[in-house]
Amino acid sequence: MKILTLILLSIVTAFSVKCQVGVGKNYDCVQVGNQTPNQRLLKYPFNKAYKIQILSFSSETLNLPLVNGSLDWNNVKDSITLSRNQIDSLTNLFFNFGCTANKIVKSISAAVAVNIAIVFIGASNELIDYIDICFDCGEIDLFLSKGNKIIGVPCNQRLDRLKQFSQAWGLQL
């Protein structure tokens, strides 16, 4: 019974891990990489995306509004399609900045409401993948929606920087 409980807890943890906020300077966002824009664009899901958008949607929505795997535009409040410079800023934040802590503290929590999502759209206008972000609860998913691939190394100020980017780029939250 203990083994089954541990297995179930591991499965739940794998799908519920949110970006941690650590205590101390070793969890602050600092430059941890020097990847060029071209190197960053070769990483999934940026390498598969025809366009990248940031969407804001109803705060009552617990997840990105999807119907049969497609975006439900009726529940999207606002959207912006990122320019090359905006994508460069975003990939720089994800792949060149992180924390220097040797151990990442992971917390299990349930988001009250997801505020925005970064969505990766293919050439046929299909949803390739997305990242949920909850400004209200102070969390960003470490994992992409498909395949549990981690985007970058987490750090304390990443969420604040994403919020600043979104607002500066004109997204209405």
- Contacts with 21 (C-beta within 8 Å, 6 or more apart), sequence order: 27, 138, 156
Examine residue 122 and state whether it is found in any structural domain, yes or no.
yes
pLDDT at res. 86: 95
Distance separating alpha carbons of residues 77 and 173, to the nearest angstrom: 8
| Domain assignment of residue 173, yes or no | no
Domain count within the chain: 1
Does residue 13 form part of some domain?
Answer: yes
3-state DSSP helix/strand/coil % of the chain, to nearest 5: 30, 25, 45
- Which range marks the domain in which residue 71 is found? 2-168
Cα separation, 112 vs 75, whole angstroms: 17
Confidence band for 152, pLDDT divided at 50, 70 and 90: confident
Residue 158 in any domain: the answer is: yes
Q: Measure the CA–CA gap between 101 and 27, rounded to whole angstroms.
A: 6
**Mean pLDDT estimate for the chain:** 76
Q: Write out pLDDT tens, residues 3-59.
A: 333 333 333 333 333 344 455 677 888 999 999 999 999 998 999 999 999 998 875
Does residue 162 fall inside a structural domain? yes
